[in-house]
Amino acid sequence: MAFPLEGIRVIDLTQYQQGPISTLMLADMGAEVIKVEPRGTGDPGRALGPYYFQACDRNKKSITVDTRTEKGKEIVYRLVKNADIFAQNFRPGVADRLGFGYEKLSSINPRIIYLTGSAFGLKGPMGTKPGYDGVGQAMSGILSTVWFPEGVPPTNLLCSVSDMTSGFLLAFGALVALHHRDRTGEGQEVDGSLLGSTMSLIGWTFQRELTPYGEGFGKVVRGARVSTFQSQVSLTSSHFAKDGKPILLLLTRHSTQEAAFRLLGLERFLTDPRRESGRNMDAYIEDLLTALDEKIRTRNRDEWLRLFDEAGVISAPIHTLLEAAAHPQVLANEYVAEIDHPKDGRMRVLGLPIKLHKTPGRLGPSPELGQHADELLREVAGYTAEEIARMKKEEII
């Protein structure tokens, strides 16, 4: 089967997550991603466990190179000469010092698409500073949109939102640059950051703050998200059912609120005068949340989900990760799938979130450290068997 990016070759010097996710997206769609790792140790992400490396580096090939040596640099240059994309997410300035900056590599291959992942973008007072996912979450403002108990400052969303979003957008940038190159023959650098990507992820929520619509829009009251627009109250709240399982309610329109309140026997909240008063809105929401808590604790979650669905009310179970993995909808769409790993056997893995119906992508294992060295040096970089043996003896690879 032909893959949509078959024939595209990527030289991947990225590490941990932001950069590896960008090249993972390309590998899943058939690109040949050659992961160049430090000799002996490999990508430091390997030390975080096989689950981490599998999630970030499946479908890639691995070669280890001591890039501090001139012979090691020469290997990378020869790989780049026959490549379409080069990717790195070192601290800004490090790639240049190593001899792998855009100007150097574009002189070797003017058609190269050069991906740079950074923490804060390449300009400005923080352009050369390092940063990790949590810094992207903190500085982008996304943490301020999540409710935390009063007196407890937000710390982390417990998942790598900034790394993942930045990786997705870098992959998108690579494809746009490839399209441009197909039309003009020109390669170029594409840069993305944890900060900018996470701000983009917030989307309309961020734009709302730049274009405010008046007092009371976008409040958090006791963990519930409350907003008002054109005299309409929008409420998103979570509650525990009788069986202790949490459920999410999205009462974002008057019609769904009316249906939900009638189902729950809370019609009085539709005509409560405080509903129209900005000064008393918080007290109204507090009373409403208390009433919702009491009502939803009277039935099990699955029963409420059925009743809400029948009434046309948008609700959802708040899943644990394993509950999500086992959900029939997830399995039907293969958002979780199984592969045969050569070392770890049959394993469940995250599936592909994007479905190309004529040219689907692929799921495969992450490479062992240096697994493809001989193949890549011989077939891509053009070294002879004797040269390869000599570089192994000299501990270049």
pLDDT in tens, 126-150: 888 888 999 999 889 888 888 777 7
Q: CA-CA distance, 135 to 148, in Å (whole number)?
A: 18
Provide the residue type at 355 as one letter.
K
Number of C-beta neighbours around residue 72 at 10 A: 23
Identify the three-state secondary structure at position 382. Answer: coil
Note the pLDDT of residue 203: 87
Is the pLDDT confidence value at 215 over 60?
Answer: no
Q: Name the nearest CA neighbour of 59 among 34, 38, 82.
A: 34
CA distances from 123 to 46, 167, 192, 296 (A): 31, 19, 11, 51
Residues 237, 158, 354: CA angle, nearest 5 degrees: 85
Q: Does the pLDDT at position 212 exceed 90? A: no
> Strand order in 85-88's β-sheet?
61-65, 32-38, 9-12, 85-88, 113-118, 188-193
Residue 37's φ and ψ, nearest 5 degrees, are -115, 155
What is the pLDDT at residue 210?
A: 76
286-323 per-position pLDDT tens digit: 899 999 999 999 999 999 999 999 999 999 888 888 88
**CATH of span 219-317:** 3.30.1540.10
What is the value of pTM for the model shown?
0.84
Tokens at 245, concatenated? 């399982």
> CA 50 to CA 45: how far, in whole Å?
9
At residue 28 the predicted structure's pLDDT band, cuts being 50, 70 and 90, is: very high
Question: Could you tell me the two tokens for 236?
Answer: 């998103």
Q: Which residue stretches of the chain are H helix?
A: 18-28, 50-57, 70-81, 94-98, 102-108, 133-140, 161-184, 194-202, 204-210, 254-264, 268-271, 281-296, 301-311, 321-326, 328-332, 373-379, 385-393
Q: Mean pLDDT, to the nearest integer, of 217-223?
A: 64
Instruction: Give the N- to C-terminal CA distance of the chain in Å, as an integer.
Output: 33
CATH 3.40.50.10540, domain 9-201+350-393, yes or no = yes
Sequence spans of domains, the chain:
9-201+350-393, 219-317
